[in-house]
Amino acid sequence: MSETEERAAVVAEARRWIGTPYHNCADLRGVGVDCGMLIVRVFVDTGLCAPFDPRPYPPDWHLHRSDERYLGFVFDRCAEVEEPRPGDILVFRYGRCYSHGGIVTAATPLSIVHAFWPAGIVIEETLSRNAQLADPARRRRAFSYWR
């Protein structure tokens, strides 16, 4: 499969999760998932990553620790990029470290699929329409499996 086909498969798989309820540490499409496990499931289920499981983790770990636990499993498999493309991963700083992420579905306007706790479900949205994620204090970073 070409990179273009792999990226399209990642976006398609991420979109299959839209509407799944938010549930910490869950990873069952249609039943429950959090933002980290959504990324894991999409990349594992498309066959791009070998199965792995970063759980367990408490729902508020990012408020009490400075270790970049979330970035750990992204760094191990991806490289940071300046301009995200569909299929890449965006991560956002919440609390004391990077602790939220989603899968890029469009570069212009920049859009992601993510399990967003305030929404209570997996959604696809344009970042400029989400005041929390558009906040410069979130210091977003982009990572690509293909770099």
**What per-residue confidence (pLDDT) applies to 142?**
94
Q: What is the CATH number of domain 3-144?
A: 3.90.1720.10
pLDDT tens per residue, range 86-99:
999 999 987 777 77
pLDDT tens per residue, range 1-12:
999 999 999 999
pLDDT tens per residue, range 18-70:
999 999 989 999 999 999 899 999 999 999 988 878 666 656 555 555 565 55
Higher per-residue confidence, 78 vs 18:
18
Are the C-beta atoms of 125 and 111 separated by less than 8 Å?
yes
**What per-residue confidence (pLDDT) applies to 94?**
76
Q: Which two tokens stand for residue 62?
A: 């990012």
62: phi then psi, degrees, rounded to nearest 5: -70, -15
